[in-house]
Structure 1
Amino acid sequence: MSALHAEWTKLRTAGDLGRLLLLAVALTAAVGCGTVKAVKCPDTGCGQDAVRLALTGVTVGQAVVAILAVLAVSGEYGTGMIRTTLMAMPDRTTVFAAKAAVLTAVVLAAGTAAVAASLLGGRLILPGSGFTEAHGYAPLSLADGPTLRAAVGSVLYLVLVALLGLGVATAVREAATAIGIVLGLLYVFPVVAQVVNDPEWQRHLQQLSPMPAGLAVQATVHLDALPIGPWAGLGVLGAWAATALLVGGLLLRGRDA
């Protein structure tokens, strides 16, 4: 408990990290609302996934979450506070687990707020854009199973992105490098997949890419057209995050602070 309290205190008193959390919520909701406002569904129907449109902002908010996670670790290395932390709590595994637990809790809370705001915005805006029951679109509601899965999955997606950032930052220590690696995995990997000419290889790369695979959990229609299933895709991102945490944890234990 003392390790959790210490990590919570450090995170809570870091002003920049608090502002980043608020920015992640605001950006996620704003981009989602902007997207559903911009898309129109004509009388003939549009075949769009309304839930996924409302949750589009997650693709932007995740960058802020990743940066927050990296700074939560690299800041301690930059100031030398990590030595003080490890002197007070010599068990490095406990320290690392506490960091992961506190980061998970705060991103879980922020992600829930961001996703809830996005869906509420979608519920209010989508009917005015033509997404009405007459066109086959019921109002967005968490009582709908696929919508609930997309919402919960989006929150878990943001948590896993944060844990990926935590693991990478612990492994490389330096903020700019860690941010570059994490954002590259999230945004560059899908671009590489798109420029591959072979459809089969393109599909395989999408199945392995953290963002396209992980965000499959947001899909509520045309699931058979996805390169990977919703929960399986989130599992791919989970595997990336687990690998990063394992490498980061092992390096934290095996080298000098």
Structure 2
Amino acid sequence: MGRLLLLAVVLTVAVGCGTAKAVKCPDAGCGQDAVKLALTGVTVGQAVIAVLAVLAVSGEYGTGMIRTTLTAVPNRLTVLTAKATVLTTVVLASGTAAVLASLLVGRYILPGNGFTEAHGYAPLSLADGSTLRAAVGSVLYLVLIALIGLGLATAVREAATAIGIVLGLLYLFPVVTQVVDDPEWQRHLQQISPMSAGLAVQATVHLHELPIGPWAGLGVLATWAAAALLVGSLLLHRRDA
């Protein structure tokens, strides 16, 4: 678990760093969202977090240790709640480290690429309300992704299947959205897509153009997480170990 958490942090920061180095803002009003650019790595780090969450459950099923766990703690809802609590704690810690490091890297790299006060960009700072919301929201986003993975793994038990489902929800949903020609349907799909809706919380500019508001989008992701945990808990309660 420790190695996967470290990998998630490293990937998140590295991708954010690469994006910050690659994007230029040559003149005022270039229209880029500096905060979202710095936090781009979350879209990659979330995959590792999802895999970590799945393995937290499926590993026990694979080794048969789940029987020992359920014998020691017969209340299955208590078992799932304990796993969710531990997972939330470690992802909160690692997610906070990844997000803060990404913003720090962006603060130092982006000005060299034209994201300066002369072009309308203040240095990235948590003292700015929008930046703070994007940072806190990104950490919560990673926690909710982990809970989706936990719920799905509890429901299907098998690691490869659970990983395929959660990654499909995250990455295939946006692809399907782009295939749809109707703009109105595209907007609706973006409003219910776990990743598209959830990452709206990172936006700090052009909020009126978003298909869904920042906190509302995170609420959609929270609904996906709640649904996954509900299905997982129901199946855990009804099936044999």
TM-score (norm 1): 0.93
Residue 158 (structure 2) aligns with? 174
Instruction: Spell out the pairing of 1:87-236 with structure 2 (5 A cutoff).
Output: 87-236=71-220
Distance 1:58 1:46 in 2: 23
Shift of 1:45: 3.7
Instruction: Give the match for residue 51 of structure 2.
Output: 67
Matched residue type, 2:229: L
Render the CA deviation track for 1:95-140: whole Å, top value 9, x for unaligned.
1100000000000000000000000000010110110000000000
In the alignment, is the contact (CA less than 8 A) between 2:58 and 2:159 conserved in 1?
Answer: yes
- After the TM superposition, which residues 77-96 of structure 1 pair with which residues of structure 2 at under 5 Å, given as runs? 77-96=61-80
Query: Quick check: 1:30 aligned with 2:14?
Result: yes
AA partner of residue 123 (structure 2) = P
Letter in 2 for 1:52: K
Unaligned runs of 5+ in 1: 1-16
Q: CA deviation at 1:168?
A: 0.2
Q: Shift in Å at residue 230 of structure 1?
A: 0.2
> CA shift at 1:46, angstroms?
1.3
Pick from 234, 238, 246 the counterpart of residue 222 of structure 2: 238
Q: Which residue matches 1:252?
A: 236
Normalised by the length of structure 2, the TM-score is 0.99
Q: Residue 42 of structure 1 aligns with which residue?
A: 26
Letter in 2 for 1:140: L
Paired residues in the alignment total 241
* SS of 2:122 mapped into structure 1: coil
Displacement after TM superposition at 1:61 (Å):
0.2
Aligned-CA RMSD value? 0.5
CA–CA distance in 2 between the matches of 1:228 and 1:234?
9
In structure 2, how many angstroms separate the alpha carbons of the residues matched to 1:131 and 1:148? 18
SS of equivalent to 2:126: coil
Displacement of 1:44 in angstroms is 4.3
Structure 2 CA distance for partners of 1:94 and 1:185, relative to 1, 3 Å = same
**Unmatched 5+ residue regions in structure 2?**
none
Alignment partners' CA distance in 1, 2:232 and 2:101: 33
Deviation at 1:63, TM superposition (A): 0.2
Tell me the SS of whatever aligns to 2:132: helix
Residue 14 (structure 1) aligns with: none
SS of match in other structure, 2:208: helix
Is the Cα contact below 8 Å between 2:201 and 2:215 reproduced in 1?
yes
Identity %: 84
What code does the residue aligned with 1:215 have? Answer: L
Mapped partners of 2:91, 2:128: distance in 1: 24
Following the alignment from structure 1 to structure 2, what is the Cα–Cα distance between the partners of residues 60 and 209? 16
